[in-house]
Amino acid sequence: MKGRSIPIKAFLIMLCSLVSGAVAGYAELTDRIVAIVSDDIITLSELNEALEPYVRQIREAHYPPGVGREMLFKLRQDILNKMIDEKLTYQETERLHVSVDDREVDRHIEQIKSEHFLTEEELRKSLAAEGYTLEEYRKRIKEQMLRIKLINIEVKSKIAVTEKDIRDYYEEHKEDYQGVQKYHLRTILIRVPPPAGADQKRAALEKIGSIVKDLKSGTAFDELAKQYSQDGTAEAGGDLGLFTLNELSAEFQETVRRMSEGEISPVLQTQNGYQILMLQEIKKIPGKTLREARIEIQERLYRELVEEKYRAWLKELRDRSYVKIIQ
């Protein structure tokens, strides 16, 4: 909030940083404060650590320099704002004396191990591969559980979806509850990164052409997808799932509309590269009455209200706190 003085703790931290810098004889600064959040701070090193996985993904995607810089700039703002929100919510848990004891954290971690069939040693190894210790993981879990408890108290407990809300939504969205036709699609993608030259494009096109020949000779689509596809669905045999035509891109809509069950599409040039689709099944989904759709609508409305009230609550929290971003 503008107009307030800097909290004493943040002021002392800044003063110590200046003194340390002077003592170091104008040494190059390796860290600095990027945001003050009431009596706490966020440092550049903390921000960079949170950004690092996303920075790596953007670099590996080989976007044009201008596009990459713009994405990183926006990402930096988004991550910093998220970190500020996390600081504010943690401070609020302390103000309201919301707590999570070690036994609750233990139970939550045991549940995670059970769901993923992990032993303690396997969990430690998995965390180490991601650069975390079990102790750091416990701390993060505890912080998440504190935020969930706080949101339950401050947001979710104040939300109610009435029968009138459900009826009104059903009447306003009746077309969504009529019978629809869905298309079960699989895909194989050979990527062509944006800066690719003519030789790379030609090689990718030849590769997808070779895959099409294998399909025509009887090789199963899912086997070829697992072997060659560069889409995220490769391990699942290229399975994209069920879609209505309206849920597909305009280009895919036109292609799928003309396809029959079991048919393979022509090679499509998309923003990701060269791609083919297989229409595995056309599935007719029956409509739903108000009674049949009631729980689905209630959950949808509840999620929307939680999101709306949570954003309003976070804004109010920011408005009554001292937040200063230092560029």
Rounded distance, CA 297 to CA 148, Å? 23
Give the structural domain span for 194: 180-285
The answer to whether residue 186 sits within a structural domain is yes
The answer to whether residue 264 sits within a structural domain is yes
Return the half-sphere exposure (C-beta side, CA atoms, 13 A cut-off) of residue 91.
19
The DSSP-derived string for 19-69 is HHHHHTTSPPP---EEEEETTEEEEHHHHHHHHHHHHHHHHHTT--HHHHH
Two tokens, residue 83: 């970190």
Amino acid of residue 103: R
Residue 303: per-residue pLDDT: 94
Per-residue pLDDT tens digits of the chain, which is 327 residues long: 444 555 555 544 454 444 444 434 433 456 899 999 998 999 999 999 899 888 888 888 777 878 888 889 999 999 999 999 999 999 999 999 999 999 999 999 999 999 999 999 999 999 998 888 999 999 999 999 999 999 999 999 999 999 999 999 999 998 888 888 999 999 999 998 777 788 888 999 999 999 999 999 999 999 999 999 999 999 999 999 999 998 999 889 999 999 999 999 999 999 889 999 999 999 988 889 999 999 999 999 999 999 999 999 999 999 999 999 997
CA end-to-end span of the chain, whole Å? 16
3-state DSSP helix/strand/coil percent for the chain, to nearest 5? Answer: 60, 15, 25
The answer to whether residue 239 sits within a structural domain is yes
Q: How far is CA 114 from the centre of its chain?
A: 24
Q: Identify which of 296, 16, 260, 26 has the alpha carbon closest to the alpha carbon of residue 173.
A: 296
- Cross-sheet strand order for the sheet of 268-270: 239-243, 180-191, 273-285, 268-270
Q: What is the pTM of this model?
A: 0.57
Per DSSP, the three-state class of 294 is helix
CATH number of the structural domain spanning residue 269: 3.10.50.40
The answer to whether residue 85 sits within a structural domain is no
The answer to whether residue 99 sits within a structural domain is no
Q: Identify which of 283, 239, 281, 241 has the alpha carbon closest to the alpha carbon of residue 261.
A: 281
The answer to whether residue 164 sits within a structural domain is no
Q: How far is CA 300 from the centre of its chain?
A: 19
- Per-residue CA distances from 173 to 201, 288, 289 (Å): 44, 12, 12
The DSSP-derived string for 143-170 is HHHHHHHHHHHHTGGG----HHHHHHHH
Residue 61: per-residue pLDDT: 79
Give the burial class of 49: count Cβ atoms within 10 A of its Cβ; 0-12 exposed, 13-18 middle, 19 or more buried.
exposed
The answer to whether residue 124 sits within a structural domain is no
Residue 4: per-residue pLDDT: 52
The answer to whether residue 131 sits within a structural domain is no
Amino acid of residue 102: D
Residues whose CB is less than 8 angstroms from the CB of residue 85 and which lie 6 or more positions away in sequence, other chains included: 314, 318
- What's the domain count of the chain? 1
